[in-house]
Amino acid sequence: MNIPTPHIEAKSPDEIANTVLMPGDPLRAKFIADTYFENPVQFNQVRGMLGYTGYYKGKRVSVMGSGMGIPSSMIYFHELYAFYEVDTIIRIGSAGAMQPHVHLHDLVIATASNTDSKINHGLFGPYDFCPTPDFDLLVEGVKKAKAMDIPVHAGTVLCSDQFYRDFPEEVMGNLMRYGALCAEMESAALYMTARKLGKRALAMFTISDHILTQEADSPEARQEGYRQMMELALEIAPA
């Protein structure tokens, strides 16, 4: 496929940095560019999915929205990796906590992504393939979060294909009993795409709501809050 792609209007790979931070909300991408980047330049606005490239502490980084869910986000992950020569994508999203020791505004870094999606259906025969992040990036993320005094948890997450889904009580109970930390909707797509194309990926999430306590943040907090996660991702982003 030639560039621009159907979903990204950048005319050259040079318009996008080697590392891209990806929130779901394009307005969060704009907030990051406006707040943290020096000399930000917009490289995408197709379908309202805003993307910017700029400098953070002298390091060239890009940020772009991905939309919600595997079908939307996987398009952008694939096009950035395959056609724009991006090496690393760091997912910065929100998630619902599934464990009592994981609290509102804590950070979760996904060591693996359990999913009900069929994105890898039939690829591995009888085996359930569970995609994982880049190990060095994972270790650096956890280490840096602790150094920045950010409450952080590293473990498996549930990546669901549906936001409004009634999980059978037994299924949800098993997921929680086996240690799933939170529920979100994009990490499996990121990790699968990175594994397929030999790229680097890491998914991290700020807890925006809690399945057990029913706590929840406002839409405004989700859009412009979660600065600790943003700053952590910027700090560990490879140049």
Q: Which positions are annotated as active-site residues? A: 209
Q: Which residue in 15, 52, 44, 61 sits closest to 231, CA to CA? A: 61
Task: Using the Cα atoms of residue 7, residue 10, residue 12 and residue 17 in order, give the sign of their dihedral.
Answer: negative
E runs forming strands in 98-187: 107-115, 152-159, 182-184
User: Three-state DSSP class for 62?
Assistant: strand
- Cβ contact 31:223 at 8 Å: yes
How far apart, in whole angstroms, are the C-alpha atoms of residue 127 and residue 124? 5
- Cβ contact 189:119 at 8 Å: yes
Residues forming beta bridges with residue 152, ordered by sequence position: 107
Query: Cβ–Cβ contacts within 10 Å for residue 176, how many?
Result: 16
